[in-house]
């Protein structure tokens, strides 16, 4: 089986600094891959490159076999890649329902003229978008539905904003979901709950997931495979137990032991 | 350290004192004018009415109603233009000063079209049909102008500091003015007469309103309602609001940002085109400079209403129209200022200053993203 997303020799240079250098990566359909690495390892740049927010200096990114380098970000979303951000980025002045409805923009076909004339097709589609939005929000229990639907997103608590951001990414109907530190800033109870949800994202919704995370407990619980980045390069990959005992990984996180000391 | 900062924040600078003084003076002037006006309405021989203006005559009820109607009709045209300023500001964060010329192009193309129709006699024989044709042509021309403007002048500057497209827009404005001057000459061009049945005054709720103004208000209200509905209720509108809040995230939601921005310009242009036609039909005379003052006034209206806010733009337009129509008679005349009817523009811009002194973000506040607007 060919991987759904594969990256070949990807290099991104900012000024003289290689944020990513000759990175190779792939993720298979239905896999959950955890991406870890110390701060500044290039994890977020890696996501930015896949969603084409930053252009690669060299190398290739292939989605379902087709190169996506140089496409507009909206086009990448249309193909089926969605992401969340480390620092949650919602549309704060739009309501929760609208935030999720707007995410289905590229999956709809009716245009402003249909809206003006109130055609049957337009009204049906508008209803479908709405129903789908509520379905996606229901994934998080009752936290984001009911009276919440018509509240602006800025009133939400931090954890709920994270949930809404994931709901919004789900609503774009992606094949690959990129989660950038989904449990950052959550308390242990919330993060355990979200960890369970990430598993259900695959089993119930069929997403392939790539997740950047610093919380090793979460990485261990959900990842099939872990990729460790440091200085823009893959230094190790394999199961969580394999990489957590890898001397390169320990060195990247803790530094090199002093010569001669045991 | 903290104590020092609190202390310096509390210190009242001379600028604050000056602004407070200005607020008091302006409010006192407005209050005095209004009180004198009321006194003068009660009895012309009232000593307070005579205090500043010994020749005070007061207004009859019909005159007052006439001023209100004129103000609202004029204001709804400002509102239509202001929508374009506000929408573009909401999405791109700069003021498109060439928007007044888009309005002028609407009025001009309406003139060319209606003149042709009038020469054929179609204007007289089937006014409604020709009105629709003229409106459609004006909308097409204005929309095209706005879209081309975005493509040629603003898109290449999308990532530059906001001051740069602002200055460019002033250049675009001069370009369009002079292009029209070159094509149609410097003379003022007159629209054909409106048919008698439309232009005649009719009595609505005791208000005696000329038909033209009824038309202006109805068309403006309809356009505004359609626009509001599109922006608030359709997915196109949601996409526009998403782009206004965060372009990068909007793109990641699968929204084509460029197309949405073009659409914003197109809708703003269409509104300006409708405004241009209404202006042409009400005042029946357009020149290549027609766009300047209404453009500036509409910008003022957008700021008064709270720039970036569509309801605010329309409300700002109507309040500005009402202020410049009523202000001279209600406030300045009783204060003994002479030649008040010449002072409409001064009143309009003073109204802006007054609003900004009390509510710096405009009447309807701010609904902008947390994006760094500089």
Comparing CA positions, the residue from B290, B271, B269, B279 lying closest to residue B104 is: B290
Nearest CB to B238: which of A92, A102, A172? Answer: A102
Q: How many Å apart are CA A20 and CA B104, to the nearest integer?
A: 53
Phi, psi of A62 (to 5 degrees): -120, 135
In this prediction, residues B126-133 reach a mean pLDDT of: 86
Comparing CA positions, the residue from A235, A250, A191 lying closest to residue A215 is: A191
Say what the pLDDT of residue B248 is.
Answer: 86
Q: Is A10 helix (H, G, I), strand (E, B) or coil?
A: strand
pLDDT of A50 higher than 50: yes
| DSSP summary character for residue B365 | -
Top residue of A52, A53, A72, A73 to mutate, by most chain B CBs within 10 Å, is: A73
In this prediction, residues B252-279 reach a mean pLDDT of: 90
Quote the mean pLDDT of chain A: 85
Q: In which domain, by residue range, is B87 found?
A: 68-303
Mind telling me how many Å the CA of B227 is from chain A's nearest CA? 10
Domain assignment present for B120: yes
Domain assignment present for B206: yes
Say what the pLDDT of residue B371 is.
Answer: 43
Say what the pLDDT of residue B272 is.
Answer: 92
Say what the pLDDT of residue A114 is.
Answer: 67
pLDDT in tens, A248-260: 888 887 777 676 5
Domain assignment present for B29: no
Domain assignment present for B74: yes
Is residue A78 less than 8 Å (CB to CB) from chain B?
yes
Domain assignment present for B44: no
Which ipTM score applies to this complex? Answer: 0.76
pLDDT in tens, A26-43: 899 889 999 988 888 888
Say what the pLDDT of residue B359 is.
Answer: 81
Beta bridge partners of A14: A17
pLDDT of B251 higher than 80: yes
Cβ-based contacts of B370 with chain A (< 8 Å): 92
> Could you tell me what percent of chain B has a pLDDT over 90?
22
pLDDT of B372 higher than 70: no
In this prediction, residues B275-299 reach a mean pLDDT of: 89
pLDDT of B368 higher than 60: no
Buried b / exposed e along B7-42 (16+ C-beta atoms within 10 A): eeeeeeeeeeeeeeeeeeeeeeebebbeebbebbbe
Comparing CA positions, the residue from B26, B19, B39, B105 lying closest to residue B347 is: B26
Cβ-based contacts of A129 with chain B (< 8 Å): 235
Query: Would the CB atoms of B241 and A94 count as touching at under 8 Å?
Result: yes
Domain assignment present for B134: yes
Domain assignment present for B352: no
Mind telling me how many Å the CA of A9 is from chain B's nearest CA? 24
| DSSP summary character for residue A152 | B
Top residue of B236, B252, B256, B369 to mutate, by most chain A CBs within 10 Å, is: B252
Tokens at B341, concatenated: 């009817």
Query: Would the CB atoms of A116 and B230 count as touching at under 8 Å?
Result: yes
Identity of the highest mean pLDDT range in A143-147, A151-155, B102-106, B290-294: B102-106
Mind telling me how many Å the CA of A22 is from chain B's nearest CA? 25
pLDDT in tens, A56-105: 888 889 888 888 888 888 888 888 899 998 888 888 888 899 889 888 88
pLDDT in tens, A126-147: 888 889 999 989 888 888 888 8
Of the candidate ranges A182-196, B186-200, B246-260, the one whose mean pLDDT is the lowest: B186-200
Say what the pLDDT of residue B148 is.
Answer: 94
Of the candidate ranges A50-64, A205-219, B13-27, B47-61, the one whose mean pLDDT is the lowest: B47-61
Top residue of B225, B230, B233, B254 to mutate, by most chain A CBs within 10 Å, is: B254
In this prediction, residues B326-338 reach a mean pLDDT of: 77
Nearest CB to B254: which of A89, A129, A172? Answer: A172
Query: Would the CB atoms of A103 and B370 count as touching at under 8 Å?
Result: no
Query: Would the CB atoms of A74 and B254 count as touching at under 8 Å?
Result: yes
Say what the pLDDT of residue A52 is.
Answer: 86
In this prediction, residues A155-173 reach a mean pLDDT of: 90
Nearest chain A residue to B240 by CA distance is: A102
CA atoms within 13 A on the CB side of B230: 21
pLDDT in tens, A182-195: 888 888 888 888 88
Quote the mean pLDDT of chain B: 84
pLDDT of B276 higher than 70: yes
Domain assignment present for B332: no
pLDDT of B278 higher than 70: yes
Query: Would the CB atoms of B245 and A93 count as touching at under 8 Å?
Result: yes
Region of residue A258 (phi > 0: left; psi between -120 and 50: alpha; otherwise: beta): beta
- Cβ-based interface (< 8 Å): residues of B facing A: 226, 230, 233-236, 238-239, 241-242, 245-246, 248-257, 263, 367, 369-370
Residue B136: pLDDT band with limits 50, 70, 90: very high
Number of domains into which chain B is organized: 1
Length of chain B: 374
């Amino acid at each position: 089986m060919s991987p759904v997303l594969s990256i070949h020799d990807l290099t991104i240079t900012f000024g003289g600094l290689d944020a990513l250098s000759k990175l190779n990566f792939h993720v298979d359909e239905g896999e959950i891959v955890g991406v870890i690495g110390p701060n500044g390892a290039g994890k977020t740049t890696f996501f930015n490159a896949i969603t084409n927010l930053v252009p690669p200096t060299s190398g290739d990114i292939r989605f379902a076999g087709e190169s996506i380098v140089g496409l507009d970000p909206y086009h990448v979303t249309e193909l089926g890649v969605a992401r969340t951000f480390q620092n949650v980025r919602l549309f704060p002045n739009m309501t929760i329902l609208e935030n999720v409805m707007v995410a289905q923009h590229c999956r709809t076909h009716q245009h402003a003229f249909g809206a003006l004339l109130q055609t049957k097709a337009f009204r049906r589609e508008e209803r479908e978008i709405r129903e789908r939005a509520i379905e996606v929000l229901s994934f998080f229990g009752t936290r984001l539905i009911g009276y919440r639907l018509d509240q602006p997103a800025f009133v939400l608590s931090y954890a709920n904003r994270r949930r809404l951001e994931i709901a919004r990414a789900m609503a774009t109907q992606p094949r690959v979901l990129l989660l950038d530190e989904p449990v950052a800033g959550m308390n242990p109870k919330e993060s355990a709950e979200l960890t369970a949800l990430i598993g259900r994202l695959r089993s119930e919704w069929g997403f392939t997931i790539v997740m950047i995370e610093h919380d090793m407990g979460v990485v261990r619980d959900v990842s099939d495979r872990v990729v460790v980045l440091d200085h823009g390069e893959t230094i190790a990959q394999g199961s969580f137990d394999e990489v957590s005992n890898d001397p390169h990984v320990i060195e990247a996180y803790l530094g090199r032991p002093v010569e001669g000391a045991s | 350290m903290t104590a020092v900062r609190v202390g310096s924040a509390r210190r009242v600078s001379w600028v604050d004192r000056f602004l407070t003084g200005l607020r008091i003076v302006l409010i006192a002037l407005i209050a005095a004018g209004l009180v004198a006006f009321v006194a003068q309405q009660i009895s012309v021989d009232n000593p307070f009415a005579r205090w500043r203006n010994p020749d005070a005559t007061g207004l009859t009820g019909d005159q007052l109603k006439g001023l209100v109607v004129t103000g609202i009709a004029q204001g709804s045209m400002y509102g239509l233009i202001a929508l374009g300023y506000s929408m573009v500001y909401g999405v791109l964060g700069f003021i498109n000063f060439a928007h007044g010329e888009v309005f002028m192009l609407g009025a001009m193309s309406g003139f060319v079209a209606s003149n042709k129709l009038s020469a054929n006699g179609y204007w007289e024989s089937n006014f409604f049909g020709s009105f629709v044709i003229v409106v459609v042509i004006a909308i097409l021309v204005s929309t095209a102008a706005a879209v081309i403007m975005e493509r040629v002048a603003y898109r290449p500057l999308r990532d530059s500091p906001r001051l740069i497209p602002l200055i460019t827009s002033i250049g675009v404005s001069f370009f369009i003015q002079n292009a029209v001057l070159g094509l149609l000459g410097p003379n003022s061009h007159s629209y054909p007469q409106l048919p008698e049945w439309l232009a005649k005054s009719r009595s609505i709720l005791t208000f005696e309103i000329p038909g033209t103004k009824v038309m202006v208000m109805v068309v403006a209200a309809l356009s505004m309602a359609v626009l509001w509905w599109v922006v608030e209720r359709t997915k196109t509108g949601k996409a526009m609001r998403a782009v206004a809040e965060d372009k990068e995230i909007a793109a990641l939601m699968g929204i084509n940002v460029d197309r949405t921005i073009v659409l914003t310009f197109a809708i703003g242009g269409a509104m300006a085109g409708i405004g241009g036609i209404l202006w042409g039909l009400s005042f029946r005379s357009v020149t290549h400079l027609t766009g300047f003052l209404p453009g500036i006034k509409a910008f003022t209206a957008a700021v008064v209403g709270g720039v970036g806010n569509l309801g605010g733009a329309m409300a700002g337009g109507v309040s500005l129209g009402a202020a410049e129509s009523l202000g001279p008679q209600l406030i300045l005349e009783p204060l003994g200022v002479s030649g008040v009817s010449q002072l409409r523009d001064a009143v309009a811009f003073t109204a802006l200053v007054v609003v900004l002194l009390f509510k710096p973000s405009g009447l309807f506040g701010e609904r902008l993203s947390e994006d760094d607007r500089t």
